[in-house]
Structures are given as structure tokens and as C-alpha cells.
Amino acid sequence: MQLRYQYRVYPTPGQQNKLAQAFGCARVVFNEAIAAREAARRGGLPYPTDAELSRALTAAKRTPERAWLTAVSAVVLQQSLADANTAYRNFFASLSGQRKGRRVGPPRFRSRRDNRQSIRFTRNAHFAVTAGRKLRLPKIGEVKVAWSRELPSEPSSVAVVKDAAGRYFASFVVDTCDEPLPELDTEIGIDLGLTTFAVCSDGTILASPKFFRRAERQLRKAQQNLSRKQKGSRNRAKARLRVARAHTKVADARRDWAHKESTRIIRENQAVFVEDLCVTGLARTRLAKSVHDAGWGIFTRMLEDKAVRYGRHFSKVDRWFPSSQLCSVCGRVDGKKPLSVREWTCLCGAVHDRDLNAAVNILAAGRAERRNACGETVSLPA
């Protein structure tokens, strides 16, 4: 399997100028590829092929108007063309229903004002990690890298990314083997929520860290300071960076917490079951800010990816499964309940904590679905 290993890099001012030039050249090539296809569509002509666009790029570099494209690595420009081609393939696959997930729109032009810029080098570019532990990039130089861990194998490509906060990262793609953990006999169901981030079927409660809510006052003041600055001024650029850094700090803390908790859950359980929540729909309600702050999507994606890597089972229970309405003791469906009801009593006499009962039901439904998928006849306990 392929994994990404990301490290912070610290280019010198001169290298930052060269990276900015590479970002701009890659953006121009991407936009011209999109423009060529759009012109063909409007004229009723067939889309130019990847090979035709590549030949057009080579010819453009020989003209005086585009001679400055030769200042950056040719691999960077070819990879930008490949990104445009991939964007169109994803768009057409989404239209035909071959691509799973949400509908993908047509590719859009990239702007120089985008807060995130990136370029990619493949092995053809002959990038390398030097003996001095620096990253050598063609036509850029040797860039200092903060190595937080060793690369497990030789990278097949590296992307240099500049984020909204002005930080630079090197993202390596490496081929690794699965690392199955010793098998366990423990399985767990997880009910995600807002009051508490998650309640597990074994009674474990994960308190909601609420990173955005805790930093909301600081973020509000930074945004107010930005809104008072004159557009186009240097002070506004500095204020925008302060806002971006504040948001980056929140996002990094949320991602780090999700990594630690998902790793712990995967290591301690052979099978993990969660409810398939419609995060996009919930993000349109009055709870939108809390839903985004919770980060359910990134947490479940990490659980799924790590389950594959470490030989665990992960699955999602149908979002229409009445986990909060079903009595985990007698199996009776007690009907919908408002979110204010945190505890309820079934007619059988069982007193349920709303979240814990839902987690137990998710575990039972996940087990039933898993065994049924293996060819066994299993039904939920009545």
C-alpha cells in the first residue's frame, strides 16, 4: 500500500523565490490545459488528448512569450498537466456514476491568490535526500527538512506544499507493506455525538475536545483585526497570516488528537463499528459550527485507513438504523426522541443512557452485518 509521510521544510529566502516561481509556472500550465479543453468544448470539437497538450507545452517553451517556463523543472510542468487530466477524468467518471461519493464538478482555474500552492516531483526529476539529510530538488537546491521520523522506503514522488499560514511541507509517497497487529477478541461500537465526542459500547467516553470553541475568542479578534485593514496593504497581508496561523493551530490540534485516539482504538479492538453519519447534511443545520468542530469525518477516515493497515475490521452501520430508538435489552423500538432526552426507560423496565444504548446497538448491528457478509444467517437479538 502507498502512504504519505509529511515533513516540515525550511527553504531559504532564495529558495522561497524559486518555489514561488515554480508554483506560478505550474498554475499557468494547469490553467492553459483547462482553457484548451474549454475552447474545444465551446467550438464543438473533441477534447485535446494528453499527448497533444504535452506537445503543445513543449512547443510553448520555445516561444519568447513562454520562455520563462524553462526556469523550472520540466517534471513539475508535466505533473501539472497530469493534475488537469485527472481532474477531467474524475469529473466525467462522476457524471457517469462510475466514481463513488459526492458529485464532482468540472475543473476550475487556479488563482495566484489561492492560499495553498503545491508542486510535485517524480523519480524522473531525480530528487534525492542528500547525505546531509537535506532534500535536493531540481532547479531549487538543497532544502532543510525537519525529519520527525524515518522514511520506511524509497519515495516514488514528493510534493512541496505551501499552506495558508506560509509554512512549507514536503509530502513523500512511499510504498509500504501492511503491518497486521496480533488478533484480539474485542469488538467495539462507537456512537458519535456533540456533547461527548464518542461513547463506546464498553462504556468508554471520549470527551469532546472542542478545539474551535476554545480558540473562538482568539479567532474572532484576529478576524476583526483583519477586517479593519485596508485591502491591498501590507498590514492586511500580515493580519491575514495571523488569522491563517490561528486556524492552522486549531486544525493541527484536532488532527493530532484524532490520530492518537483512532490509533488507540484500532490497537485495542479487532473490529470497530460506527454509524454512517450524514456530516454534510448536519453541517447545514443550526449545529453546523459544532459539527465541523467535532471532526467526525476525519476521525472515521483515520479509523478506516488504519484498520486496513493493521489488519483490523472496520465498517459503518446504515445511517437509518434506529440506534437511539432501539432497546438493547428487549429489542423494542421506542420511537424518536429529542436531543434533550439523554436517558429513557423502556417498557421492559430497562433504563438506558441514550448514547451508551446507541453504541451497544451499533455493535450488535455491525456484528450481524459482518457475520451475514461471511455467509452466516444472523439477525439482531429480539
Active site residue: 187, 275, 293, 369, which one? Answer: 275
H/E stretch holding 135? strand 134-137
Q: Which of 109, 20, 110, 108 is CA-nearest to residue 68? A: 20
User: Could you tell me the pLDDT band of residue 376, with boundaries at 50, 70 and 90?
Assistant: low
What is the structure's pLDDT at 60?
A: 93
pLDDT at position 373, please?
60
Tell me the Ramachandran region of residue 161: left when phi exceeds 0, alpha when psi lies from -120 to 50, beta otherwise: beta
Predicted local confidence at residue 381, as pLDDT:
47
Q: Which of 54, 60, 55, 53 is nearest to 36 (CA)?
A: 53
User: pLDDT tens across 269-288, in order?
Assistant: 999 999 999 898 988 999 99
Among residues 32, 187, 191, 293, which one is catalytic?
A: 191
305 given a catalytic annotation: no
Task: Say what the pLDDT of residue 377 is.
Answer: 47
Confidence of residue 382 (pLDDT cuts 50, 70, 90): very low
Q: Which of 32, 304, 355, 369 is catalytic?
A: 355
pTM of the full structure: 0.88
Q: What span, in angstroms and rounded, lies between the C-alpha atoms of 280 and 362?
A: 21
Indicate if the pLDDT at residue 4 is higher than 90: yes
Residue 36, number of CB atoms within 10 A of its CB: 16
Give the phi and the psi of residue 351 in degrees, each rounded to 5: -100, 125
355 is catalytic: yes
DSSP string, 318-340: -TTS-TTTB-TTT--B-----TT
**DSSP H or E segment with residue 197:** strand 196-200
State yes or no: pLDDT of 6 exceeds 60. Answer: yes
pLDDT band, very low/low/confident/very high, at 62 (cuts 50, 70, 90): very high
Q: Are 7 and 146 in contact (CB under 8 A)?
A: yes
Q: Residue 379 pLDDT > 60, yes or no?
A: no
User: Is residue 293 annotated as a catalytic residue, yes or no?
Assistant: no
Contact in structure between 125 and 75 (CB atoms under 8 Å): yes
User: Has residue 374 got a pLDDT over 80?
Assistant: no
86-132 confidence digits (pLDDT tens): 999 999 999 998 988 888 899 999 999 898 999 999 999 999 999 99
